Structure 1
């Protein structure tokens, strides 16, 4: 067992743990947290699970908490461009040097983590880093996003003040089950006795499963549409909840579905007030109006418009299409699309490709990538103009060559694709700004 000695070596050590390895279960977390003196017990938290909308909900909630003057930790996954995105305090990513120092501190107390084979997965080690970092920095509240699950998710060792369940859709079925009820039951595994759970609107089968778990553990449930909601009125958006009545709301994140995410975030913030995490209504309003969540209906270029969206399951694609209809009505879409091999691509493709003027398939920069040739025939059955490329740059160039004035180039299908595309456009924008 060779331990890294410098912060740079420590970050390289983390990178060598394969992000594609998924091992549900909490048994590997307990020895690590025990060796660290259980940092997760020293932080108060808001714990968010679901299939779609988790990140946006976390962004709304954490930004509002910051606007209220709290010191806020935010742990999300996966990252788009840099691993440091996963660990934020008051909106600032951890620096690579401090990330390396945190890893060294953990390995000093738990050197077994450097053993071969590694006892912790990439996500588990990242979760340990988040707990340790937030405890060392003495955050007032940590907003924690689960990974793919809930009950057996590495984050599910915390005792949160409030839990949240965002919309449930089909995703990661090999780990969570093949029905909405089974998936919802796994996600609802974060519910705790007496801890209120804020639940977004759900399909009946998913809601039934969540309600059953809430009753079993004794978790008070607040349901969107019954206990709280954001509504569109002639005067703008309004929120009605157990304590707050807010009018004239504006949302920084685009798409009609963000009203739901905003409603869930506001209801969670209302519940935190009982624990002394007070958020004045003006801070809540400011949080909704200023939150950022890159790679979700993000327009990174114009003429033609280039939109990045991390939709990577059927529910996400349905939300994406509704949002495109709202934001870009009647405009032709040229999709740059890539998918990982273990994803259920067929329903995503059936939803998206018939709506596209052209589709440009690209491999992803991950061992999990599915080669475009493997599903080219499926794609061509759904769209008249489908082309396969060796890489993302060629796919983007192919889409741009076909796009006319007013068209939209859409990059979607995987967060791996969105992150890679975003890096290119942000880098090009920076270069242009330097030249000017």
Structure 2
């Protein structure tokens, strides 16, 4: 692979790296950051791991930090439509020009990335950390990609860390028990750096606490040190170590967002105590204006087309609870696609019986599981199941069956959410 010379060639270089490649470890990222003069040390970092809810938590925290007047860098994954979504400054996606320039800067200072390419995620993480330093952000919010201990984002030092609920996902990399998975997520803990922990299953919390004791990490635990409660009028009340907030209104929908908002607020409290100032009113404003596409996102009318990136059993349970709360009595016509390495059985068994019909579609990724591979499994759960060659046909049939008053649900993978968003022209 030859070295790119222009921003356009640089973006093409990134696109040629394998988006599905996973190579755990920090050596390559560490070498690259050293060659770049350690850009990751030039700003405070909120580092968020977990299985579900970490993206929404990052969005809440980043928007609140912006409301407080901070120039915020936000790094998340995966993207839905364009890779630029992964790197945001001040709420705006990185431009193609800036993205290409940042890639050229990295390759100029670390040419080994051409001769021995890093993974897509590793290289993107290095580029993001460099870009944030180059444009001069005040604070960075980093979402882990997979796990924590050996995730590329863990090469950055942290000011505050957080762990959202841990559940079963990526077991081939992280382990087959909640304790093992939580232990990997707890790899983001740094000596003496406070960690905000969402309410967890007992075995997951025990693993996190064990790691915290070894490193001398002060834990801020939901239900013990902070909590948010939904009030009869739909508002939230939050009680933390210092803050008590009432009348909170969330911009993100679903009952699960109460927990994500609570974790974000506890993170903001901890950041405020460590020099990244946020007031109570600024925190409330941020939680009321955050956006996080592809999570209970309505993108169509008559029928409503609902996008949700649930892609593991815990995510599907959260989705079902939200459907019962937000769309009571509406028949659900599901467009479903899944990647081959997911634990699909529990997902299907929970979701499909709640659907009036299911349209199976392949995904536009090499990791896609062909619908034919689980068509019989699906039909045992809901009689009205059809396999389609592409998402366009599946979506058209789901909309036809739903009629103007029904609900079309697109779920099973963030790949599918991105495909539908692109087709419907959602900004």
- Interval containing the TM-score (normalised by the shorter chain): over 0.9
**Structure 1 residue 322 and structure 2 residue 321: aligned?**
yes
Q: For the residues of structure 1 that align with 2:352 and 2:192, how far apart are their CA atoms?
A: 45
Partner of 1:203: 201
**Structure 1 residue 336 and structure 2 residue 330: aligned?**
no
Q: Is the 8 A contact 1:149 1:186 kept in 2?
A: yes
Q: Is the 8 A contact 1:300 1:426 kept in 2?
A: no
**Structure 1 residue 107 and structure 2 residue 107: aligned?**
yes
Q: Of residues 228, 231, 234 in structure 2, which corresponds to 1:230?
A: 228
Matches within 5 A, 1:270-285: 270-285=269-284
Per-residue deviation, residues 255-278 of structure 1 (Å, max 9, x unmatched) = 000000000000000001122111
Shift of 1:315: 0.5
Q: For the residues of structure 1 that align with 2:284 and 2:405, how far apart are their CA atoms?
A: 33
RMSD: 1.0
Q: For the residues of structure 1 that align with 2:60 and 2:30, how far apart are their CA atoms?
A: 31
**Structure 1 residue 191 and structure 2 residue 189: aligned?**
yes
Q: For the residues of structure 2 that align with 1:91 and 1:227, how far apart are their CA atoms?
A: 30
Partner of 1:130: 128
Unpaired runs of 5+ in structure 1? 431-436
Partner of 1:304: 303
Which moves more between the two structures, 99-108 or 201-210?
201-210
Q: For the residues of structure 2 that align with 1:260 and 1:342, how far apart are their CA atoms?
A: 28
Shift of 1:43: 2.1
Per-residue deviation, residues 80-107 of structure 1 (Å, max 9, x unmatched) = 0000001001101110111000000111
**Structure 1 residue 32 and structure 2 residue 32: aligned?**
yes
How many residues are matched?
A: 426
Matches within 5 A, 1:374-413: 374-413=373-412
Q: For the residues of structure 1 that align with 2:416 and 2:38, how far apart are their CA atoms?
A: 36
Q: For the residues of structure 2 that align with 1:239 and 1:425, how far apart are their CA atoms?
A: 37
Q: For the residues of structure 1 that align with 2:391 and 2:10, how far apart are their CA atoms?
A: 30
Q: For the residues of structure 1 that align with 2:302 and 2:78, how far apart are their CA atoms?
A: 30
Partner of 2:414: 415
**Structure 1 residue 97 and structure 2 residue 97: aligned?**
yes
Q: For the residues of structure 2 that align with 1:420 and 1:408, how far apart are their CA atoms?
A: 18
Q: For the residues of structure 1 that align with 2:33 and 2:253, how far apart are their CA atoms?
A: 38
Partner of 1:78: 78
Q: For the residues of structure 2 that align with 1:134 and 1:191, how far apart are their CA atoms?
A: 22
Where has structure 1 moved over 6 Å in runs of 4 or more?
Answer: none
Q: Secondary structure at the match of 1:272?
A: helix
Unpaired runs of 5+ in structure 2? none
Matches within 5 A, 1:367-378: 367-378=366-377
Shift of 1:405: 4.2
Partner of 1:358: 357
Q: For the residues of structure 2 that align with 1:233 and 1:44, how far apart are their CA atoms?
A: 34
Q: Secondary structure at the match of 1:74?
A: strand
Matches within 5 A, 1:279-294: 279-294=278-293
Partner of 1:251: 250
Q: Secondary structure at the match of 1:307?
A: strand
**Structure 1 residue 5 and structure 2 residue 5: aligned?**
yes
